[in-house]
A and B are shown apart, each in its own frame.
Chain A
Amino acid sequence: MAAGGSRAALQIRGVAKTYRLHDRTLPVLADIDLDLERGQFVSIVGASGCGKSTLLRLIAGLEGDYAGEIHIDGAPITGPGLERGIVFQDHRLLPWLTVADNVRIALLNRPISTGDAASLVREHLALVGLQGFESAYPHQLSGGMAQRAAIARALINAPKVLLLDEPFGALDALTRLRLQGELQRIWMRNRSAMLMVTHDVREAVYLSDLVIVMGGSPGRIVSRARVPLPHPRDRALPALREIEEEILSQLIGPPDASANRAVAAPTAA
């Protein structure tokens, strides 16, 4: 395994994905090229149905059967793997396990001792601010706390890339803001590369080094906006607002070439 320091944590080359529905083919992703450097925070924004969640599921290895290449740290992916962590929109904690056991379940296939596992769990629950809730059950947690536990579960294997699929989409506005700040703090300490899919442009700009705008059908990358500001950031920074406005105008401004494609009927097989 040649893990050169310059190699991208995640490398996506020419990825395309087509769904087959009965006798029709439905292209959902086309020509996706994307690099994530180590420790970089990248967000993908775009309208519903632009395929951004599908892209995340491809990277997670939860869906196969695509064209192109996806490499993690230089190695092509084959199905799911612990070097990638994933946080879903619903927390997906198992209701029959305590918070600590829900985090520990991610360690089942790691060859480590019970003692090491326990201290890893403790450490990661502390990282997300859930110390004291080890033996609580998911139904006893608020939505924000449950999502924190899900983040701890996803980070416990120290993934090279953490995939976040609209992680705060199901939370109320205040909890959402608080968790955004928390995620920034966790990321600055942990420095996994992060790839987050979100509807919320402000959230994307606040947290990311790079915001990818996707659009069209099939979904493709329309533009990339760098956010060249140091972390941690003040969410009231005017520079953030400017970038946000720019991205928003792309998303809801006059239709461009790729948006026009969305009107075209799916090609028959």
Chain B
Amino acid sequence: MTVRGRLWAAVRALLVPAALLGLWEFLSRGGAAATYAFVPLGKIVAAGRTALSNGELAGNLLASAQHACLGLVTGSLAGVLLGACLGTSRICDRILGPLFHGLRQVPLLGLAPLIGLAFGNGAGAKLLVISLAAFFPVALATGDGVRNVERAHLELGRALTLRRRQVFRHILLPAAAPAIVSGFLQALAFAWLATIGSELLFTASAGLGSFMQQGEANGRMELVIVGMIAIALVGLAMNGLVNRAVYRLLPWHAVAQK
């Protein structure tokens, strides 16, 4: 692409955001009430700078990211395990399948009160909510991926006298890997959502959710917006990171998709 073309592409991509920002700034000048809801851009930038320089933003962001990662890992591992069971064993599918498919219809927000009652309002409850958010998409995708393994490949495994564990490791898991990855990408988004949500729902501790809640409680909407921007950027970064890792981990899949 020429320099000119690239410039034009950048202008096109920024056109709508710039217009929205302009509208925002215009609305913020419509009186005191409007200024509260539509915080002037200058105030947001200033608040963002302060939060960045005094380490408040970084500390909360790190705390949230830690919660999200921990929940993502536990939830995804559990999801792969259950999904593999559902996908390979008919008995397992008959016993656990209906419960699994029933439970995943219930929004996590609906489960929150129950979880709060059973596990308290602290870190345990948060971790459970985040893990559950990651668990369902990964379990579902793994089950589908394992079920769709090519019969011919399983037959090859038999001809090579592979044992159950070897078939799982060398045939079933790699066959399901692309499905697991797309489930994991979904889990990533859900887990991040659940992280912020659980921070808002359960007892406050360090985290972006609490950061925003404090801002709201103190009537400082600019802090809420700074939190929102941070959440969006972290989500984007995580998505990009995983997408990049996928190309490394599944070279045959990445190339085949091109």
Cβ–Cβ contact B160 & A108, under 8 A: yes
In the complex, A138 Cα to B163 Cα: how many Å? Answer: 24
In the complex, A162 Cα to B253 Cα: how many Å? Answer: 32
Cβ–Cβ contact A80 & B252, under 8 A: no
In the complex, B177 has a CB within 8 A of chain A = yes
Interface SS, A side: loop
- Of residues B158, B160, B252, which shows the largest number of chain A Cβ atoms within 10 Å of its Cβ? B160
Please report the number of residue pairs spanning A and B whose Cβ atoms sit closer than 8 angstroms. Answer: 57
CB < 8 Å neighbour of A80 from B158, B251, B253, B256: B158
- Of residues B163, B170, B255, which shows the largest number of chain A Cβ atoms within 10 Å of its Cβ? B170
> Which of chain B's residues have a CB closer than 8 A to the CB of A61?
159
Number of chain A interface residues as a range: 20 to 34
Tell me the residues in window 77-96 of chain A with beta carbons closer than 8 Å to chain B beta carbons. 79-82, 86, 88, 90, 92, 94-96
- Of residues A60, A108, A109, which shows the largest number of chain B Cβ atoms within 10 Å of its Cβ? A108
Cβ–Cβ contact A106 & B252, under 8 A: no
Q: A92-B153, A137-B255 are in contact. Are A62 and B158 (CB under 8 A)?
A: yes
Interface SS, B side: helix
Cβ–Cβ contact B161 & A109, under 8 A: yes
Cβ–Cβ contact B152 & A92, under 8 A: yes
Mask, B146-180, CB within 8 Å of A = 1, is: 00000011011011111100100011001101000
The chain B residue sitting closest to A108, CB to CB, is B166
> Which of chain B's residues have a CB closer than 8 A to the CB of A90?
152
In the complex, B250 has a CB within 8 A of chain A = yes
> Which of chain A's residues have a CB closer than 8 A to the CB of B156?
88, 92, 94
The chain A residue sitting closest to B174, CB to CB, is A96
Cβ–Cβ contact B160 & A95, under 8 A: no
Measured between C-beta atoms, what is the minimum distance from B207 to chain A in Å? 38
> Which of chain A's residues have a CB closer than 8 A to the CB of B256?
95, 139
**Which B residues form the contact surface with A (CB < 8 A)?**
152-153, 155-156, 158-163, 166, 170-171, 174-175, 177, 250-253, 255-256
